[in-house]
Structure 1
Amino acid sequence: MTFVTLLGAIRRRAENIAALMLLVMFVAFLLQIVARYLLNFPLGWTYELSAVLWIWLVLFGACFAVRDNEEMRFDLIYGAVGPRLRRAMGFVTALAVVALFGLSLPATWDYVTFMKVQKSAYLGIRFDALFSIYVLFAVVMIIRHLWIGWRAVFGGGPDAFDPVKASSGV
């Protein structure tokens, strides 16, 4: 199994996990509506579960399911320049992302580990476990943007935006 094949398999499993999180969040949301408006018995844990899953869904999805070419860019500027300047912009952006996440990582780690003293109101989830996805997100973004910067310098830089190939990621 090649590295690219392995990454593809990991990405597909990550998409499955993200879809499962979305399903659980949707069911909790529907349960909350039924409990509140039909039974007049609001359930706080469904709101909390939906909020936690939303945070995890966004950050987990950004880590493992979203491809580089699916990320948002300023296409008006990015698409208007030539390949060399696009590579330079890709490198500068990657360098900025690595620097910002790298500088914030120690404080982020301190905050997340400090939050082990608190738990969520209804589900009793320790906040360090709840917020740990952000540490993983920061580390993955550093690694991903190191790779993007390396590719911008030594390989082919980011492709120009092609509106004909635009899709929802499917």
Structure 2
Amino acid sequence: MNRQLSPIGSWLRHRAENLLAMMLLAMFVIFLLQIFSRYLFNLSIGWTHEASVALWIWMVLFGSAFVVREVDEIRFDLFWGAATARGLRVMQVIGSASLVALFTWSLPAVIDYVSFMKVESTAYLKIRFDLLYSIYVVFAIAMIVRHLWLCVLAIRGKAPEGFDPTKASSGV
């Protein structure tokens, strides 16, 4: 079953990376448009700032939910690097269980608040805030699922990968 899902997961991950790259490109183009309009044409365009902020929010939360790998997350290397495989598993269970509990506890309030925000919209683009911030709900659910899975793996005896500075790369 896992071998059948691996190509699908890899394909989905690559599409998420593609979408993230398109968002970054759009943000860069909008940023350049803002610079050209301000300094070449002496024209201030308000929607460019709003679009850049919206894209940034989506890039950070979408990227964290679907693109950033577990091994790429920031850890306290002082403890993580010195731990044995059993210690890594214990830290993974404690950390993942804590995150699952916190995200699950906050999820109803987050959904309620994001739903409430449909009454407000952005100033220039008129994007409803519930649509703009809906990515946080997706992010929270993705974090719950991811850390439940990591917790189960750690309980079953699979230690998380330790960071090896000799194998650090730029993601390529």
Shorter-chain TM range is over 0.9
| Structure 1 runs, 4 residues or longer, greater than 3 Å off | none
User: What 5-or-longer segments of structure 2 have no aligned partner?
Assistant: none
How far apart are the structure 1 equivalents of 2:37 and 2:67? 33
Higher alpha-carbon deviation: 13-22 or 1-10: 1-10
Q: CA deviation at 1:70?
A: 1.3
CA distance in 1, matches of 2:29, 2:51: 10
Q: Which residue does 2:64 correspond to in 1?
A: 62
TM norm structure 2: 0.96
- Which ranges in structure 1 are unaligned for 5 or more consecutive residues? none
1:35 and 2:37 matched: yes
Cross-structure match for 2:20: 18
The superposition leaves residues 61-105 of structure 1 with CA deviations (integer Å, 9 ceiling, x where unpaired) of 111111111111111210111110111001100001001111110
Identity within the alignment, %: 55
Q: CA RMSD in A?
A: 1.0
Aligned residues: 170
Question: Per-residue CA shift, 1:106-162, capped at 9, x if unaligned?
Answer: 110010000000111111101000000000000000000000100111041212221
Structure 2 CA distance, aligned partners of 1:51 and 1:70? 24
Question: Deviation at 1:38?
Answer: 1.6
Number of the residue aligned with 1:3: 5
Is the CA contact 1:70–1:169 (under 8 Å) kept in the aligned structure 2? Answer: no
Task: Tell me how far 1:168 sits from its aligned partner.
Answer: 2.3
Give me the whole-angstrom Cα distance separating, in 2, the residues matched to 1:70 and 1:153.
21
Q: TM-score, normalised to structure 1's length?
A: 0.97
Is this contact kept in 2: 1:35–1:43, CA < 8 A? yes
8 Å contact 2:71–2:162 — kept in the other structure?
A: no
Which residue of the partner structure matches residue 97 of structure 1? 99
